[in-house]
């Protein structure tokens, strides 16, 4: 996981500023087997965030993905 700042302007798009990793202190699988809960003690509002994952299902199938998001409030 990583987070970054953006520079707001009239032009579309922005470079990533102050890009830094976000510490994952722990993770656990819910009883349903379909949800992973992450412990992110340093999580703060941010204009840019990326969550990537590489997991294996119970049958060994690879599950990979990426989400880009913004956190406006905690």
Q: Print the domain residue range for 23.
A: 2-7+16-71
Amino acid 24: pLDDT: 95
Secondary structure string (H, E, C) spanning 32-55: CCCCEEEECCCCCCEEEEEEEEEE
Amino acid 26: pLDDT: 96
Burial (Cβ within 10 Å: 0-12, 13-18, ≥19) of residue 50: middle
For residue 54, which of 32, 41, 71, 36 has the smallest C-alpha distance? 36
Amino acid 74: pLDDT: 75
Are 22 and 42 within 8 A, CB to CB? yes
pTM of the predicted model as reported, rounded to 2 decimal places: 0.80
| Per-residue pLDDT of the chain in tens (74 residues, 90 and over written 9) | 999 999 888 888 888 999 999 999 999 999 998 899 999 999 999 999 999 999 988 899 999 999 999 999 87
| Total tally of structural domains belonging to the chain | 1
């Amino acid at each position: 996981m990583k987070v970054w700042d953006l520079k707001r302007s009239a032009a579309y798009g922005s470079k990533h500023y102050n890009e830094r990793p976000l510490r994952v202190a722990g993770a656990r699988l819910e009883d349903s087997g379909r949800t992973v809960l992450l412990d992110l003690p340093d999580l703060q509002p941010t204009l840019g965030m990326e969550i990537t994952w590489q997991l294996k299902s119970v049958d060994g199938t690879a599950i990979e993905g990426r989400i880009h998001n913004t956190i406006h409030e905690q």
